[in-house]
Structure 1
Amino acid sequence: MNRALAGAIAIAALAVAGASAAQSLRWPDLRDRPRDAGVDAPARRIAPRTVMTAGDGAAARLRLVPADDAVEAWVDNLLAGPIEVVVRAADGASPPSDPPLPARGSIPAQSSALLARVAHGHPRLQVAVVPGSPNARPRDVEYAWPLQTGSLRIQQAWGGGFSHADEANRHAVDFAVPTGTPVLAAREGVVMQAEDGFADALPGDGDAALPGRANFVRILHDDGTMALYAHLQRGGVLVEPGRRVRRGEPIGLSGNSGRSTAPHLHFVVQANRGMRLQSLPFRMFGPRGILRFTDTQAVQAPAGR
């Protein structure tokens, strides 16, 4: 999975001309990968792409509202969990504002915040959004096996060379699994974000024909960390945002959506470390005992060791 998915940063540029403007932001975006490996694609060093669409998976909305002596920049959090945002000028030089741009803030679940009051005119602003609170305090938790299977096959583990080298996915794991396999919550939490409208990749698709986005569920844990379950099949999300799920509860069906060359589940635990997502090491109890991952492979040991 590349930076756009794991980093989950969306940018929108909006202008105001005497009336309020609004757009929605969404992610993830999965890009090219080698065709001979059923894993996520390697990240490309590209600038964030402007995405302004509404619907399931929307993250936030920037509203520029004319006031008596300024234009107010409001950001609406559309997720069932906190986000962190930065509002800045889109054209380089920042217009006079209170506070000065760039303006940064955290917004609780499904609420709004006034980030800045910008001097009158036609300001062009952009907003960067990262899910989660920068105040997350991860606890040492043993995660449950996230698949309704009795077998284990890992296609790419921590530090995988295809696409697990960036900070947001360094400790991600790709579990090979047939399409339609039930995906289970590895830890109790609240469904923060979900998307299931994208088609699976088809056998024989060339890189250019592969769908660009993956279906996923993001679950917020009580300590502020988040688990991402990605590459679900189209229509394969079984839970709605805002719902609290138990450990072991079905949350989706595995698939091959996004830039994926074979069906698999991409699982990663992340925390917001101040406008950036960082993947976290985790322990997991697998089909045959405790799973201990390294940066190059997954090692299984009997329970209790």
Structure 2
Amino acid sequence: MVRNIDLDTRLLELFCCVYEKGSISKSSNCLHLSQSTISFHINQLEKSIGLKLFYRKGRTLIPTSNAHILYPYAKKILEVKLLALEEIKLISGSYKGHIKIGASSIPGTYLIPNIVSNYLLKNPNSSIEIIVEDSMKVISMVEEGKVDLGFIGFRCTNPDFEVVEMWEDTIHFVGNKGVEKNLSLADLVKYPFILREESSGTRRFVESVLRAKGIDIKDLNIIAVVDKNDIILSLLENVQAVSFVSSYLLRGKKDVKILNVKDIEPIKRKFYLIYDKERPQSPAVRFFLEIMMEKKPAIVK
């Protein structure tokens, strides 16, 4: 006879926290429960489903294969629970939505704030958290469900994502005021070069353009690799070097020089909104997307 199995959502919340933290002590800080209480509830969950979820190896808590199977389902159950609660609050008039957005540096700094401001004016009870990372990290955050929406600097091919074309940009080669305005490809290789980090969407575009001209990124005279555009501009104020940045970053900037590189056309690229098609969307996220789609209704497949 197959016994009935029930899943208590409170126990699933606790299980997910322990699974993600990999430690009962770390989960204790997150859940504001004692370690003994957490251990008791994990045992209760294991007894209710008849499966072992964790085992100890020294001081480390290791998830079993059962835990790996349960975790994604538990996350979905909790997301649906949260969505249901938010819908109930919306109906009752007590809704206060929260949106988590991941964005690469240019959208996060220069493009999203205006949209967020517009959204908050229309939805004053909501709150928005913006996390600025490079494009690859933003994609990972969307994949892992750590953010509701992402904004990145190149077209993502993940089939689970909806991808919406948002803005166009031009990437310029730039240099210190002492650098010649018109450079050849040989000059570009010769000059000290400041480079963005490997996971930068901007760098991916420039690498592809240079590669088409027979220049590998390793051929450049690289003197610094940085993870922020502002650092590039600060360095170029004092160092006779060259680099590349977005046109959005150069608005109102007079301390760097836009360079013309022979045989290289202006580098055009676009920014994209991405989100998981299967992830349940809260009312706040739906409202935010409606505002976005009013401006950019065409979905890029």
Write 1 or 2 for the structure with the bigger share of helix: 2
Q: What TM-score, normalized to structure 1?
A: 0.23
Who wins on radius of gyration, i.e. which is larger? 2
Q: What TM-score, normalized to structure 2?
A: 0.23
Write 1 or 2 for the structure with the bigger share of strand: 1
